[in-house]
């Protein structure tokens, strides 16, 4: 969907779309607007109508990076987490790995 510059910015600032998408050319022309918007929600920058990159706040980026390294003690797992682990099944394509464990044991 094409919007003239001012109309696009007005629509964008009022949009309640949970996935904010902006064409790359528009992003380049008005980067400050999208940097401000990214402080409160991710901004998906599109190319040919498909999301290609995402602009997020530094705080959100740091939160995501911390989560990458998060490790929980077994005692910290919820009952739901434990049930999900107990119910987990290995895809049949990886059954050969069970054989390797038996050889090592």
CB 42 within 8 A of CB 60: yes
Q: Do 33 and 13 contact (CB within 8 A), yes or no?
A: yes
Which pLDDT score, from 0 to 100, does residue 22 have?
93
| Whole-number pLDDT of residue 15 | 53
pLDDT beyond 50 at 1: no
| Per-residue model confidence (pLDDT) at position 7 | 53
pLDDT of residue 94: 83
Q: What percent of the chain has pLDDT over 90?
A: 43
Mean pLDDT value across residues 67-92: 86
Q: Which domains does the chain possess?
A: 5-60 (3.40.1620.10), 72-104 (no CATH)
């Amino acid at each position: 969907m094409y919007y003239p510059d001012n109309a696009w910015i007005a629509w964008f600032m009022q949009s309640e779309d949970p996935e904010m998408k902006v064409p790359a050319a528009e992003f380049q022309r008005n980067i400050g607007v999208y940097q401000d918007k990214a402080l409160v929600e991710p901004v998906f920058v599109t190319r040919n109508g498909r999301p290609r990159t995402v602009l997020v706040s530094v705080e959100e980026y740091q939160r995501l990076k911390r989560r990458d390294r998060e490790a929980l003690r077994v005692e910290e797992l919820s009952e739901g987490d434990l049930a999900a682990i107990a119910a987990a099944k290995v895809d049949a394509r990886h059954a050969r790995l069970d054989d390797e464990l038996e050889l090592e044991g």
